[in-house]
Amino acid sequence: MKAGCSQLKPVLLVLILNLCFYASYQLNELQVCELCSGAVLNGTAVGRFCSSSAGRIDGRCCLKNDNTSDPERIIGLDLSNCSLTHVEDLHGASTALMIDLSLNPIVNISDTAFQGFIELNYLILPQDIVCPGGNASWEKVEFKEGNRLCEGQRDMCNQTGQLSINCPENSICAPYGPSFFECSCEHNFHGYKCLREGEFPVLLVFGPLGVFMVVISFLLWVTQRRKVKSL
């Protein structure tokens, strides 16, 4: 009986994580791709990138099917010329490789706006806006056609050839967006500062969360269906 339970736990964990990811993805994707009216144009930087990456345009997003998982993921986001004055939450596009925020009267970008954007490699900003994390967080920063281009995100865990001294013992440093890093517990360690050794109580922690995200996903689906019918 114990062997059966041990085999069942990984299956349940994968199911719960997939449900949570799918529900969260659906909620955020719908918002970020519709932050501005219109669609990505072929002649723009994101449009050319999308075409060369065999992506699909959906509103202001470029989507590409991720073969390792079923849902399509955002690889490009074009919010240029959208009259944006503040940039605070773009986390629905955290998988993007390219983002264009040019031609906007931006006066402020939140320090955490690009936290978690580990794949972001090319960012286009108005000329007077500093690259997130500063120039030290990017391999190349240049000005072109009235825009500031931030290219090649640097790994903040290995700036001097050493792991971050801020990570506690029994943990591993990993990049987490421009100027950010995160510390993940090594195998068989968990809890506060990775001090607890042993198996993590997966079902106890993620079980209620999985149920909650399934309910949210269902309510979102119902809402979208009603909108379609009203049209």
Instruction: Give the strand pairing for 138-144 and 56-58.
Output: unpaired
pTM above 0.85, yes or no: no
Helices then strands (H, E): number in the chain?
A: 3, 13
- Helices 202-230 and 2-32 cross at an angle (nearest 10°) of 40
Convert the pLDDT of each residue in 77-119 to its tens digit: 999 999 999 998 898 999 999 999 999 999 989 889 999 999 9
Residue 142, amino acid: E
State how far the Cα of 10 lies from the Cα of 63, in Å rounded to an integer: 30
Convert the pLDDT of each residue in 147-184 to its tens digit: 999 999 998 886 544 445 678 888 888 899 999 988 88
Indicate if the pLDDT at residue 8 is higher than 70. Answer: no
98: tokens are 């390219």
What confidence tier does 12 reach under pLDDT thresholds 50, 70, 90?
Answer: very low
